[in-house]
């Protein structure tokens, strides 16, 4: 008989966008209801490039949490062409900054301040090797000549491999892996390299985005790929490999910014993500690997303890609202108006 419930340490999200202002107020409680900690993306406008800015953003996140919630934002810095090595030292000394994020300039939402050439960052990356600060990578090669479906593969060949050769002690997370090539790389035997996987890339392919009408809520960067890629991602994520872990890339945009002639990239998944991952692992016949993926492999890579609180997921249909509200704007989640097959069992009232 199929499994009806699974108990695991409370998971963490190793790639989360919380934004700022009214959006932060709306989405922080959703993430905190599911996850214990999250790596917080620094692509605000302007980006979070200094330890001082990260400290202030961390306080705004903590202030947006409902009373009594415990949720630890694990902060990151946004790497630019000009990030000085001294900023890495300040970050490493802060105790609350856990990584530095590379957005190739122009790759995705709010990436204009991103890196134009990694050679400009040589000394800063050397400081990260020295301090043991991981580099989180949005792995897409940009430029008008690079096909949007080929950007991850081009990045791996042209940028990532040379980077790993230049910086032999640099620890790297290839985030939101979307191709068979990326999946093969992160499940290899290089202990410096880990990968995160989103629920949408494990469950959907580009047909879901484009066949029978364009579905803007499935549009994210890196874009959904072909079915053979999805199958390779599912196999990698559910394989039990120690360096693959959960990173939702939950990326909220107001409904009007998604359903537009020039719609923003990003799927809002925080409230539904855990159930979606359970669906994917169940479909792969690998639910027994969900606890490592969701709760243990991430902390092991980051040198943090596994959460002690346990939660239980049960195979019960959970309806997903048509939208949430952020300020005065609707916010449409993935699966809006449909349902998710797994939900978190709520503790019985005492």
The verdict on 127 binding ligand NCD (CB under 6 A) reads no
The verdict on 257 binding ligand NCD (CB under 6 A) reads no
Is 279 strand, coil or helix? helix
Residues 303-342 that bind ligand NCD (CB under 6 A): none
The verdict on 249 binding Zn ion (CB under 5 A) reads yes
Residues 209-228 that bind ligand NCD (CB under 6 A): 220-221
- Residue 265 binds which of Zn ion, ligand NCD, none (CB < 5-8 A, kind-dependent): ligand NCD
Structural tokens at position 169: 């002690």
Q: Near Zn ion by CB under 5 A, which window of 232-240, 248-256, 320-328, 331-339?
A: 248-256
Q: Which of 17, 217, 225, 241 binds ligand NCD (CB under 6 A)?
A: 17
Query: Of 136 and 234, which has the nearer Cβ to ligand NCD?
Result: 136
Q: In whole angstroms, how close is the CB of 108 to ligand NCD at the nearest point?
A: 3
- Helix boundaries (H) for 222-310: 227-237, 255-258, 273-283, 290-291, 297-302
Q: How many residues at the interface with ligand NCD, by CB under 6 A? A: 12
Ordered DSSP codes for 134-172: PEEE-----STTS-GGGHHHHHIIIIIHHHHHH-TT--E
Q: Determine contact, residues 75/108, Cβ cutoff 8 Å.
A: no
Q: Which of 251, 294, 311, 320 binds ligand NCD (CB under 6 A)?
A: 251
Q: What ranges make up the beta strands (E) of the chain? A: 5-9, 13-16, 37-40, 72-78, 97-102, 135-137, 172-174, 193-197, 244-246, 310-314, 318-319, 324-326, 329-331, 339-340, 343-344
The verdict on 265 binding ligand NCD (CB under 6 A) reads yes
The verdict on 152 binding ligand NCD (CB under 6 A) reads no
The verdict on 343 binding ligand NCD (CB under 6 A) reads no
Active site residue 123: no
Q: Which of 109, 196, 248, 269 binds ligand NCD (CB under 6 A)?
A: 109
Q: How many CA atoms lie within 13 A of 146 on its CB side?
A: 17
Structural tokens at position 218: 């499935």
The verdict on 292 binding Zn ion (CB under 5 A) reads no
- Residue 51 binds which of ligand NCD, Zn ion, none (CB < 5-8 A, kind-dependent): none
Residue showing tokens 């108990």: 7
Ordered DSSP codes for 1-14: ----EEEEEPP-EE
CA pair distance 264, 254, nearest whole angstrom: 9
The verdict on 138 binding ligand NCD (CB under 6 A) reads yes
Chain-centre distance of CA 73, in angstroms? 13
Q: Which positions are catalytic?
A: 249
- Binding residues for ligand NCD, rule: CB under 6 A, are 17, 43, 108-110, 138, 220-221, 249, 251, 265-266
What residues make contact with Zn ion under the rule CB under 5 A? 249
């Amino acid at each position: 008989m199929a499994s009806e419930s699974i108990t695991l340490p409370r998971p963490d999200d190793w790639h989360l966008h919380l934004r700022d202002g009214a959006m932060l107020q709306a989405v922080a409680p959703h993430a905190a209801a599911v996850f214990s900690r999250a790596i917080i993306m620094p692509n605000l406008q302007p980006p979070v490039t200094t330890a001082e800015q990260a400290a202030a953003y961390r306080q705004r996140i903590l202030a947006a949490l409902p009373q009594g919630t415990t949720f630890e934002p694990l902060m990151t810095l946004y790497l630019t062409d000009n990030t000085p090595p001294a900023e890495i030292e300040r970050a490493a000394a802060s105790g609350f900054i856990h990584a530095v994020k590379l957005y190739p300039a122009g790759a995705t939402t709010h990436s204009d301040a991103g890196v134009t050439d990694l050679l400009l960052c040589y000394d800063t990356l050397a400081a990260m090797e020295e301090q043991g600060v991981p580099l989180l990578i949005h792995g897409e090669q940009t430029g008008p000549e690079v096909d949007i479906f080929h950007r991850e593969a081009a990045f791996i060949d042209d940028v990532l491999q040379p980077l790993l050769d230049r910086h032999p002690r640099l620890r790297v997370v290839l985030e939101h892996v979307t191709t068979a090539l990326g999946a093969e790389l992160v499940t290899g035997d290089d202990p410096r390299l880990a990968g995160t996987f989103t629920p949408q890339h494990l469950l959907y392919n580009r047909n879901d985005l484009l066949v029978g009408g364009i579905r803007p809520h499935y549009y994210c960067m890196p874009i959904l790929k072909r079915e053979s890629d999805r199958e390779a991602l599912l196999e990698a994520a559910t394989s039990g490999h120690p360096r693959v872990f959960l990173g939702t890339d939950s990326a909220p945009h107001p409904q009007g910014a998604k359903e537009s002639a020039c719609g923003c990239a990003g799927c809002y998944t925080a409230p539904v993500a855990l159930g979606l991952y359970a669906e994917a692992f169940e479909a792969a016949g690998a639910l027994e690997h969900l606890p490592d993926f969701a709760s243990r492999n991430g902390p092991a890579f980051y040198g943090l303890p596994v959460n002690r609180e346990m939660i239980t997921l049960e195979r019960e249909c959970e309806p997903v609202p048509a939208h949430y509200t952020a300020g005065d704007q609707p916010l449409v989640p993935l699966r809006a108006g449909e349902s998710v097959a797994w939900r978190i069992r709520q503790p019985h009232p005492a």
